[in-house]
Structure 1
Amino acid sequence: MDGSAATATERPPAGAGVARVRRSLAAVDLAALTDRERLELVTELERLKGAACALQARAVEEVRASQTRDGSQGARRGLRSQDARRSLGSQVALARRESPVLGDRFVGLSHVLVHEMPATMRALEQGLVGERHVLEVVRETATLSREHRAVVDERVAPLLPRLGWRSAGRAAQRVAAELDAAGVVRRMERAVASRRVTVRPAPDGMAYLTVLGPLRDVVGAQAALQVHARAVAGGRCADEAADGRAAGAVAADTALRLLSGRARGTVTPVEVQLVMTDRALLGTGDPLRSPMEPGRVPGHGPVPAPVGRAWVRAAGAGAVWVRRLYTAPGGRDLVAMDSRRRGFSGLLRRLLVLRDDVCSTPWCDAAIVHADHTHPVRAGGPTSLANGAGRCARCNQVKEAPGWRVHVVRGSPLELELVDPTGRRHRSQAPPLLGWGSDPPPGTSALESHLAALLDAA
């Protein structure tokens, strides 16, 4: 064996030293430090985070170069450049334990920092700034040429240590507008095509409805809402009473009423899937379960039992449909359900969405768009709940790229193993029926035992 081969064999894993440093942090005796020393430690740890981000960026850029050069596995398999980028972004997302969209973003950030913005990269390596600072600078220079981006790097990087991340982004934006005003205008024009409406959960049973649109239109709509809301709250609106609401609450009620197309006091004509136990909703069923056990709105999180019951009461008779969901013994998982159809549709698709809640790729958390066959139909995979997985569009496409594999590790609770092109393995598990944090009581009810017996007999 030659020397180089021996060195490659004996070389410890690259992350071993970093892992030792990470473990040593838990051994720091904070009780022996003064407050000044503790705050100095916080400062150094913050600098360490920046330096770690810079090392991540260099590592990701090396992976990108390795997987896109002519002799790479993807090139040998004829993988398109777009598919290769998507595959790489998903691999990085799994490594950083974040969504694929954020993985894509970090791949692009790494390439720019390593090759186009050396001064900003040095500030990150030295821990003078954090990841959010450099992300804002890179984002605001996205439309610039490499030469103009270098000018921004030279002028803005020395300012970064004294700026917050928002100010860093505005500084880069200002220099970019000076260097390439036409490019900034084109970017603003293209951004109009990305206008959309999104929703995301908020604490305490609330949610954010976000409208992304042209600045003047959004500001105008908000101003009109505020004028109306202040008039109602001040008692100056003849056709609507404040009823104790502040101006902010009136504005929110008005916007939701107009967007849903309903008159005041009517029920929203859409379906909201609220999953609750019969004990929590009706007070009947298994006496071992708590009547205060929270419910769940798939894709949005838990709902306290009193709130769920209030929603049902407020909807009124004829506006609520109750569908029974049968669980396996223990109450954790939905009972398996088969279909002869090739596509997941109807109740089977609804059952799959209720089970998985969000995309089944680890750390993705995006809304389910596709009902996917874990074992493909072309390879004999059945259209069944056990072989189904809820995925976002991005993760469903990436799964079909060369080097990616997914298989079912366990059926109940459903556990999937995702293998990326480098051989790294990542596991995900379907949440309990009522969401993560719910804890079904031990033992089984007579109904569950009877259902288990029927399933075994089938």
Structure 2
Amino acid sequence: MEGIRTALVDRPPAGGSVRAAVAALRESLAHSDIGAMGDSERLALIAELERLKGSASACQMRAADALRVSRQESRPQDALRSVGSEVALARRESPSLGDRFVGVSRALVEEMPATLAALTAGEVGERHAVELVRETAALSLADRAEVDRRLAGVLPGLGWRAAGRAARRVAAELDAASVVRRMEAAVRSRRVSVRPAPDGMAYLTVLGPLREVVGAYAALQARARSVVGGQCDDEGAEGRGVGPVAADTALRLMAGLAPGQVQPVEVQLVITDRALLGVGDQGRSTSDPARVPGHGSVPAPVARSWVRGAGPASVWLRRLYTAPGGRDLVAMDSRRRIFSGLLRRMLVLRDDVCSTPWCDAPIVHADHAHPARLGGATSFGNGSGRCARCNQVKEAPGWRVEVVRGSPHELLIRTPSGAVHHSLAPPLLGWGTDPPAPSPLERHHEALLGA
């Protein structure tokens, strides 16, 4: 552990580069002999590495804020949003988290020195900083500085949730009116969202005023207990507990369905003919998982049960034509003409989620990689699925997106700082799909390269 601790001190980085010093430290961590340590040393190492994470986060924040200041001086237009996207790519996270990180960095560097010092010393983690900035967002600079000062002595002993509660309490004491205004403004951001969950499930989240949400939850629980207790003539428990009955009731009411009615909304389940019907390419398995675009894979038996349970009157089948290896979508059956925008559907099926690396947001816009105003074709090859944020950011000065190849579809993204990132469309059935055997021509090319 001592070697790790002194890596930055005892190994002067080449050319004085901080980046080289960090790379040297990372290399030393990769070659640490954990097996030679005793248990107390291992625990001490875990603690020291936790402090290191906080210190590294503080260094990231100082770098992010310096980037923001530099970019605002040279390119004030769209600077914050563009920097947020660049930071997100560097941190391998979504643009919204990149925006949050840039905002937190600015607050700590310019307005909360005590919190930044605690983070730099490794006494707290990044989540502490995020909570303090979030809970003091509505305060004036003077009041935020007072929260920072008051919590400086106790912050290292608090968990991130407790730190957030403490900041909220002090904020309410210093400026109750701003806290009330923030709560009133929060009501306007009420929404419903969905995100994948493990094992073929998903979370449907309702963000709303506390009183209404708690009231709706109480009503659901009361209804569920009545059903389980056999007190409802219109619905039986059928072996379900209170939790499943409450979930079923909420989903049914929000979808406007009667008990037992089939969900009529199209979910675009992608599955091979072999896995669904047992026919088609004999070289494929009947166990190939299916995929719900934007939400991930589900086992083939589950997908088949969904289709059977929906009933023949509510199931539409659309053929998807793939490249010979089965990896990439090349066309779709257009016989079902009650829906328009077939090309857009192909982009959604191909890209799954926003094509910006690490974004993972749902696709909102079908975008031209090479802009239409510059002669870019409205074609499957030049198209890319993007969230609204990433589609707008790529129009900022210094951003460029180009198609590297068409199958598999690959984009090259250049940021204003010169960083280059690649985006590769997933296989049609999702990442982890077994790659097809190489063709004779591909094997010939591999042999030539090997020679």
1:236, distance to aligned residue in structure 2 (A): 2.3
Structure 1 residue 371 corresponds to structure 2 residue 366 = yes
Aligned to 2:90: 95
Structure 1 residue 221 corresponds to structure 2 residue 216 = yes
3-state SS in 1 of match to 2:312: coil
Aligned to 2:60: 56
Structure 1 residue 318 corresponds to structure 2 residue 332 = no
1:12, distance to aligned residue in structure 2 (A): 5.5
3-state SS in 1 of match to 2:320: coil
Whether the aligned pair in 1 keeps the contact of 2:68 and 2:79 (CA below 8 Å) is no
1:369 and 1:356 mapped to 2: Cα distance?
Answer: 12
2:269 and 2:230 mapped to 1: Cα distance?
Answer: 36
Aligned to 2:81: 86
1:431 partner amino acid: P
2:285 to 277, 283, 290: 290
Q: Deviations over 1:54-100 (max 9, x none)?
A: 0000001111111112xx1x14xxx2xxx211111111111111111
- Write the mapping of 1:178-193 to structure 2, written as runs, cut at 5 A: 178-193=173-188
Seq. identity, %: 70
2:67 and 2:331 mapped to 1: Cα distance?
Answer: 41
Q: TM-score, normalised by structure 2?
A: 0.91
1:322, distance to aligned residue in structure 2 (A): 0.4
- Write the mapping of 1:272-351 to structure 2, written as runs, cut at 5 A: 272-335=267-330, 346-351=341-346
2:189 to 194, 201, 220: 194
Q: Which moved more, 1:289-298 or 1:228-237?
A: 228-237
1:50 partner amino acid: G
Whether the aligned pair in 2 keeps the contact of 1:226 and 1:251 (CA below 8 Å) is yes
Aligned to 1:119: 114
1:411, distance to aligned residue in structure 2 (A): 1.1
Aligned to 2:124: 129
Aligned to 1:35: 39
1:381 to 353, 376, 379: 376
1:336, distance to aligned residue in structure 2 (A): 5.7
Structure 1 residue 17 corresponds to structure 2 residue 21 = yes
1:17 partner amino acid: A
3-state SS in 1 of match to 2:418: coil
Structure 1 residue 177 corresponds to structure 2 residue 172 = yes
1:189, distance to aligned residue in structure 2 (A): 0.2
1:256 partner amino acid: L
1:157, distance to aligned residue in structure 2 (A): 2.3
Whether the aligned pair in 2 keeps the contact of 1:336 and 1:386 (CA below 8 Å) is no
1:26 partner amino acid: A
1:243 partner amino acid: E
Whether the aligned pair in 2 keeps the contact of 1:242 and 1:250 (CA below 8 Å) is yes
1:41 partner amino acid: L
2:160 and 2:269 mapped to 1: Cα distance?
Answer: 39
Moved over 3 A (4+): 10-14
1:218, distance to aligned residue in structure 2 (A): 0.2
Q: Report the CA distance shift for 1:377/1:15 in structure 2 as closer, same or farther (over 3 A).
A: same
Q: Report the CA distance shift for 1:231/1:336 in structure 2 as closer, same or farther (over 3 A).
A: closer
Structure 1 residue 46 corresponds to structure 2 residue 50 = yes
1:238, distance to aligned residue in structure 2 (A): 2.5
1:443, distance to aligned residue in structure 2 (A): 5.7
Aligned to 2:200: 205
Structure 2: gaps of 5 or more residues: 1-13, 335-339, 440-451
1:96 partner amino acid: R
2:115 and 2:90 mapped to 1: Cα distance?
Answer: 24
2:157 to 147, 162, 166: 162
1:287, distance to aligned residue in structure 2 (A): 1.3
1:54 partner amino acid: A
Structure 1: gaps of 5 or more residues: 1-9, 340-344, 445-458
1:142 partner amino acid: A
1:160 partner amino acid: L
2:182 and 2:354 mapped to 1: Cα distance?
Answer: 31
1:335, distance to aligned residue in structure 2 (A): 1.1
1:396 to 388, 391, 396: 391
1:139 to 134, 143, 149: 134
1:245, distance to aligned residue in structure 2 (A): 0.3
- Write the mapping of 1:59-70 to structure 2, written as runs, cut at 5 A: 59-69=63-73
3-state SS in 1 of match to 2:283: coil
Whether the aligned pair in 2 keeps the contact of 1:289 and 1:441 (CA below 8 Å) is no
Q: Which moved more, 1:232-241 or 1:315-324?
A: 232-241
Aligned to 1:423: 418
Whether the aligned pair in 1 keeps the contact of 2:401 and 2:412 (CA below 8 Å) is yes
3-state SS in 1 of match to 2:321: coil
Aligned to 1:451: none
1:301, distance to aligned residue in structure 2 (A): 0.4
1:11 and 1:440 mapped to 2: Cα distance?
Answer: 44
1:206, distance to aligned residue in structure 2 (A): 0.2
2:226 and 2:189 mapped to 1: Cα distance?
Answer: 33
Q: Deviations over 1:373-419 (max 9, x none)?
A: 10111111111100000000010001011000000111110110100
Whether the aligned pair in 1 keeps the contact of 2:321 and 2:331 (CA below 8 Å) is no
Aligned to 1:433: 428
Q: TM-score, normalised by structure 1?
A: 0.90
Whether the aligned pair in 2 keeps the contact of 1:200 and 1:208 (CA below 8 Å) is yes
1:440, distance to aligned residue in structure 2 (A): 3.9
2:356 to 361, 365, 370: 361
Whether the aligned pair in 2 keeps the contact of 1:288 and 1:441 (CA below 8 Å) is no
Whether the aligned pair in 1 keeps the contact of 2:366 and 2:385 (CA below 8 Å) is yes
- Compute the RMSD of aligned alpha carbons: 1.5
